Amino acid sequence: MNIGVFCGIDWASDHHDIAVVDGEGALLARARIDDDAPGLQQLLDLLTAHGDSAEAPIPVAIETSRGLLVACLRATGRPVYAINPMAAARYRDRYTVARKKSDHLDAMVLANILRTDMPTHRPLPADSELAQATAVLARAQQDAVWDRTQAGNKLRSHLNGYFPGFPAAVGHHREGLCHPVARAVLAAAPTPEEAAKLTRARLRTLVKKAGRKRGIETEADRLHASLRTLQMRQLPLVERAMGLQTLALLRQLEAACSSAEELAVAAAESFEKHPDAEIITSFPGLGSLTGARVLAEIGDDRARFADAKSLKAYAGAAPITRASGKSVAVLARRVKNQRLAAVGYVWVFATLTASPGAKAHYDRRRDDGERHTAAQRNLFNRQCHEVNAAAAKSSPAPRWMVLALQAAVP
Interval 125-134: pLDDT, tens: 888 899 999 9
The yes/no answer on whether domain 5-124 falls in CATH 3.30.420.40 is yes
The pLDDT of 21-25, averaged and rounded, is: 88
Question: Is residue 267 within a helix (H) or strand (E), and if so which, with residue range?
Answer: helix 236-272
Give Cα 62 distance to the centre of its chain: 21
Alpha-carbon gap, residue 228 to 154, rounded angstroms: 24
Q: What is the DSSP string of 165-195?
A: HHHHHTTTSTTGGGSHHHHHHHHH--SHHHH
For the chain, the distance separating the N- and C-terminal CA atoms, rounded to the nearest angstrom, is: 37
Nearest to 137 by CA among 300, 259, 277, 252: 259
Domains of the chain, by residue range, sit at: 5-124, 133-269, 278-407
The pLDDT of 195-219, averaged and rounded, is: 89
Q: If DSSP codes are grouped into helix, strand and coil, which group holds residue 271?
A: helix
Alpha-carbon gap, residue 337 to 351, rounded angstroms: 21
Interval 258-292: pLDDT, tens: 999 999 999 999 999 998 888 778 878 888 998 89
Share of the chain above pLDDT 70, in %: 90
Three-point CA angle 355, 357, 359, nearest 5°: 70
pTM as predicted: 0.82
Please report the pLDDT score of residue 88 as a whole number.
Answer: 86
Interval 213-252: pLDDT, tens: 888 888 888 899 988 888 888 999 999 999 999 999 999 9
